[in-house]
Amino acid sequence: MSNALLQVTDLSAAYGQVFALKDFSCRVEEGKITALVGSNGAGKTTFLRALSGLLPAQHGRIDFDGGDITHEPSDKRVEAGLAMVPEGRMIFPTFTVEQNLKIGAISKRARDYLVEGLDSSYALFPKLEQRRHQLSGTLSGGEQQMLAVARGLMARPRLLMLDEPTLGLAPLIAEAIFEMMSQLKATGLTLLIVEQDVTRTLQIADYAYVLENGAGVMAGDARDILADPKVRESYLGI
């Protein structure tokens, strides 16, 4: 792999005295989709929280676009071009769609392009434009997920991290989210995905890592990982 936008080396993170991530290393190539798969409790969300600066690194190093961000606060990471769409959407239900989107434009460079960001979000998700003045809590689950993704994009990220983006969605809506992620890749955006639907995720991803008990146990081209008998048995039930 070349052109790594993100390079993580021997990263460990803990909740209290319990290490949920242990010496994990990976790299995310610019303009590609990288998937992180594994069973519940494997450390996937912990990894995203550590990348975002929401959970401090106990050990290891995080390099983004050639610079060490291991100990940078979350807001500095957003300014650098990292954004996360959290599990559970975390929208503000009593705010309108457009108010939620504007909240996403928290970095200086995003605020400078607020109008362009809104236009891009509405072009990608026409339903959101139709509901721009509607309270977000009244949206359907699929629409709320679209809003969460659009809000992440409002930060004008270079790397968008998505934590379980199809969780709880009907199959047709989930498929629309997967298609949307492929469309985002086509624009040149780099994506890092944690997702329960391992099969569909590995079908759209370029590269994948498998986490188990907080440690990396496998890495390779996503299609090769999908075809691996151990992965199919352990994570797909095949």
| Cβ(76)–Cβ(69) below 8 Å | yes
Task: Return the pLDDT at 13.
Answer: 96
Q: How confident is the model at residue 1 (pLDDT cuts 50, 70, 90)?
A: very low
Summarize pLDDT for 179-210 with one digit per residue, the tens. Answer: 999 999 999 999 999 998 899 999 999 999 99
Write down the pTM of the prediction: 0.91
Task: Return the pLDDT at 88.
Answer: 76
Q: Among 18-22, 38-42, 229-233, whose mean pLDDT is lowest? A: 229-233
Distance separating alpha carbons of residues 196 and 218, to the nearest angstrom: 17
Which residue, 69, 91, 71, is CA-closest to 81? 69
Percentage with pLDDT > 90 across the chain? 74
165 C-beta neighbours (distance < 10 Å), count: 27
Domains assigned to the chain: 1-81+158-238 (3.40.50.300), 88-157 (no CATH)
How far is residue 224 CA from its own chain's centroid?
22
| Cβ(25)–Cβ(218) below 8 Å | no
Is residue 107 over pLDDT 70? yes
Distance separating alpha carbons of residues 103 and 105, to the nearest angstrom: 5
pLDDT top residue among 80 and 230: 80
Alpha helices in the chain (DSSP H): 44-52, 74-80, 97-104, 108-111, 114-124, 126-130, 141-153, 171-186, 198-204, 222-227, 229-235
As a whole number of Å, the end-to-end CA separation of the chain is: 29
